[in-house]
Amino acid sequence: MTIDAALRQASLLPAPVVIAVEPGIYREKLHVTVPGVTLVATRPGVVIVNGAAAGHRSPDGRPWGTGRTATLTIDAPDVTLRGLTIRNDFDYIADTVSQASGGAQAVALMIARTADRVLVENCGIEGYQDTLYVNARAAFRRCRIVGGVDFIFGNAAALFRHCDIVTRYVPNAIDSGFIAAPSTLATDRFGLVFDRCHVTREAGVPDGSTWLGRPWRAGGNMAILGTAAFLRCRLDGHIKAAGWTEMGFTDPAGVRRMLTPQEARLFEWGSRGPGAAPAAPTRRMLSDAEAAGYTPDAILQGWVP
C-alpha cells in the first residue's frame, strides 16, 4: 500500500489516526489533509521522495512554483511525523550548471498556513534550496535538516530543539548559502527559533562561507519584518563572521530595495564553537534577560507538544 492510499483511508476514520510506515523508498507526493494523523516509521529506513522544482511544469501545465513543489505538504492541524526521511531529490547541482529548470526552489516539507500544532520528531528533511517551508505553528525535535539556500524559511512561530542544521556542499560555490529566511509579520514576537542545535556542514563546505540567514520580505509586504534566533547553538566554522546579510524585495511602489539585518529581528544568545562571534552591527546578541523570554510556552503560544 502507498502512504497516499493510507492517508485516504485515514480520512474516513475518527481522529486521532496512526499510520505505521514500513521501511522502504516511497516515491510519492503527499498532501496531508487529515487532522490528528500521525505518520511514524516502524523502523529506520522510511524515505519519502519526490523531485519537483519551482520551474518544472506540473500536471496542470503550470510551473509548480515554490509552495507546490513539496514532497510532503501538511495542510491540517495536529499532525505528527516521526522517524521519517522526507527528501526532494531535484538535481540542484546539475541545475546550477544548466539552469534548465527555470526555478531551482524545491521543497521537501511544507507546513501550510491551514495547519497548526505540527510536531516533527527524529526526522530527516533534505533538499538544497528551500528545503523546509514553515507557515504554521510547529515544533521540531532531534531532526536533521539539510540544505543550502534559504533552506529553513517561512512566517511561522517554529521551535527547533536539538536538531542538526546541515549546509550542503555545492562544487565550485564560493558562498555556500543561507540557513534561515524568516518572513514573520512585524506584529508577531517570535519566528524561527533554534535552541541547542548543531549548525554544521557537509564535507567540502569551506570555512566562512555560510550566512546564518537573511530577512525575507515575501511579496514586498511591508508588514513583514522577519525574526529568527539561535540560542545555545554550536556553530561550526563555515558560519560567516558577520552572521546575517540583507535580502532584496520589491516594495508596493515597484521600487527594488534591500531589507537589512539591522532593520530586521535577527538574534543569537549563548553561541559556541568556531562559528560563534562577538556582537557586531549585523550580529546582535540577546541579553540574558531577553533570552529568558524565549521559552517554549511563549514561542509556541501555550501549545505543549
Active-site residue 130, yes or no? yes
Distance between CA atoms of 93 and 76, rounded to whole angstroms?
Answer: 33
Distance between CA atoms of 67 and 163, rounded to whole angstroms?
Answer: 23
Catalytic residue, from 78, 95, 116, 150: name it.
150
- Assigned domain for 227 exists: yes
Instruction: Name the grid cell of 302.
Output: 501555550
Distance between CA atoms of 182 and 175, rounded to whole angstroms?
Answer: 20
Per residue in 118-127, pLDDT tens?
999 999 999 9
**Length of the chain, please?**
305
Instruction: Name the grid cell of 123.
Output: 526526522
Residues 22 and 49: beta-carbon distance below 8 Å:
no
- Assigned domain for 93 exists: yes
pLDDT of residue 281: 87
- Assigned domain for 101 exists: yes
pLDDT of residue 174: 77
- Assigned domain for 223 exists: yes
- Assigned domain for 305 exists: no
Q: CATH number, domain at 294? A: 2.160.20.10
Q: How many Cα atoms within 13 Å fall on the side-chain side of residue 174?
A: 0
- Assigned domain for 97 exists: yes
User: CA-based angle 183:189:191, to the nearest 5?
Assistant: 40
Which 3-state string (H, E, C) describes the chain? CCHHHHHHHHCCCCCCEEEEECCEEEECCEEECCCCEEEEECCCCEEEEECCCCCCECCCCCECHHHHCCCEEECCECCEEECCEEEECCCHHHHHHHCCCCCCCCCCEEECCCCECEEEECCEEECCECCEEECCCEEEECCEEEECECCEEECCCEEEECCEEEECCCCCCCCCEEEEEECCECCCCCCEEEECCEEEECCCCCCCCEEEECCCCHHHCCCECCEEEEECCEECCCECCCCECCEEEECCCCCEEEECCCCCEEEEECCECCCCCCCECCEEECCHHHHHCCCHHHHCCCCCC
- Assigned domain for 62 exists: yes
The number of distinct structural domains making up the chain is: 1
pLDDT of residue 279: 80
pLDDT of residue 195: 98
- Assigned domain for 293 exists: yes
Query: Domain range spanning residue 241?
Result: 3-299
Distance between CA atoms of 299 and 193, rounded to whole angstroms?
Answer: 8
Catalytic residue, from 78, 116, 130, 195: name it.
130
pLDDT of residue 54: 95
Letter string b/e over residues 120-155, b meaning 16 or more CB atoms within 10 A of that residue's CB: bbbbbbbbbbbbbbbbbbbbbbebbbbbbbbbbbbb
Active-site residue 236, yes or no? no
Give the residues of the chain that fall short of pLDDT 50. none
Q: What is the pTM of this model?
A: 0.97
Distance between CA atoms of 234 and 199, rounded to whole angstroms?
Answer: 6
